[in-house]
Amino acid sequence: MRNLVTIKAGAFIVFTLMLLAATINSSWATENRLGLPDFTGLVETHSAAVVNISTSQKVTHREQPERPHGLPPGAPFDDFLQRFFGDKEGRGGDGRPDLFDAKSLGSGFIISKDGYVLTNNHVIKEADEIIVRLSDRREFVAEVIGMDKRSDVALLKIDADDLPIVKIGDSNALKVGEWVLAIGSPFGFDHTVTAGIVSAKGRSLPSENYVPFIQTDVAINPGNSGGPLFNLDGEVIGINSQIYSRTGGFMGLSFAIPMDMAMNVVDQLKDSGRVTRGWFGILIQDVTRELAESFEMEKPIGALVAKVIAESPAEAAGIKIGDVIVAFNGQEVVSSSALPPMVGSTRVGETIETKIVREGKSIVIGVEIGELPLDDDLKRSTAANDPNNEVEIERLMLIVSALEEVQKEALEEGKSGVYVDSVGRGPAAHAGLRKGDIIVMMDNQNIEGIKDFKTIVKGLKEGRSVPVLVQRRSGPVFLALKIMDNE
């Protein structure tokens, strides 16, 4: 009897433990499920305000300057070769260029009940016709209210009333790690939903200096461009614009335009049809650890001024080449990429306190912000050098020569320097100097010619980094030069 009771008691304990374990596992699984966001309500509520955008454009083929197979007109087999190998420009039999429709697809979203639609500039640029298709399958021909290439934002208008609209959110309140969701038409598949998290904020891309992009890992593909990026509150906090890819498809990096910037563009496009931005008038670069040492800075932060444009707000305020901008309007400038969006979003005509480091000392300068010119291409080219009057500077292990007139044209008026003909193994090579550079300034001293350059080099102290300003085809750039004790 005792054995039977013992067996029953043991079985009860085992059963209880199994039930407890199952309950714990079930509770854990439930909590895990509850910890993930549910996007269904968001999609049901807000997807109707997301639209598909298709464009068409008449494209004319240009005549080829040369016949690719090399035979003159009327030669044997000319007609055969032209048909299969040569005339791929689409010309008709009469030799005239053909016209055909080039089509593209993108996304957008409705921001007002009376038909204002936001999308990307690159989705609708050069389009002859823009069709906006709603979720209920209605289609409208859209009018372009305005386009802004620098922010990649375009504002459209369709003739409709009482439309579903999105709710605009505060992109400044967005946090890294926060869940976000995109709705768009990748590869033409309408109202496709993808989700992910915010990977970073304030990203600067090489081709877009004035947009502090929101970086996400949301799957974005061709056709998503111009579509909305939602937060979990159902608010649009960005416009999906670009992806980083080596294949043309999604690779885990996508970028969205912040809505605070996009809505500022919208307001200006509605008011005047164009967008104005603040302008400093400088070319800048990052501060490396070596450059920070050469400028007597504790850490490598800020935007190093490599060029001050003539008759610019920076020149008028007294900004100089070699200054390091470390704060703008009370905001710290961590890197050079952080400064353009700050300046660009500043009202034209406003005077902003700008903190700079100059020769190891911090000073504050008031800069009256100007308007960014339409043509802001600041690239300069240098011509090939005629290697005359070459001088070898053994201390730096490089050969320099006096500037020719054609090379001086690449510099600002009144500036001079020396041309780098070759660089050997030594301090100059370690600093990054290369053939074709024009050395304009060294150790914060302007270089008037070879004699001046030799004097400055002779006075350099061993073991100390000094800034060197050089002019290249891509523009001016600072390098850090250091002469070691054993060199």
Q: Which of 290, 240, 264, 309 is nearest to 427 (CA)?
A: 290
Query: How far is CA 89 from each of CA 60, 67, 242, 348, 374, rounded to the nearest angstrom?
Result: 9, 11, 31, 47, 34
Q: Are 195 and 180 in contact (CB under 8 A)?
A: yes
Catalytic status, residue 485: no
The whole-angstrom separation of Cα 162 and Cα 155 is 18
Catalytic status, residue 152: yes
The whole-angstrom separation of Cα 61 and Cα 96 is 9
Element at 469 (helix H, strand E): strand 465-472
Parallel, antiparallel, or unpaired for β 167-168 and 235-243? parallel
Q: Of the residues 225, 294, 312, 465, which is catalytic?
A: 225
Given its phi and psi angles, is residue 432 left (phi above 0), alpha (psi -120 to 50 degrees) or beta? left
Q: Which tokens is 12 given? A: 């009860």
| Strand blocks (E) in 169-258 | 179-184, 192-205, 208-216, 228-231, 235-243, 254-258
Q: Of the residues 87, 148, 152, 260, which is catalytic?
A: 152
Catalytic status, residue 191: no
The whole-angstrom separation of Cα 420 and Cα 377 is 25
71 contact partners, CB below 8 Å, separation of at least 6:
77, 78, 81
List active site positions: 122, 152, 225
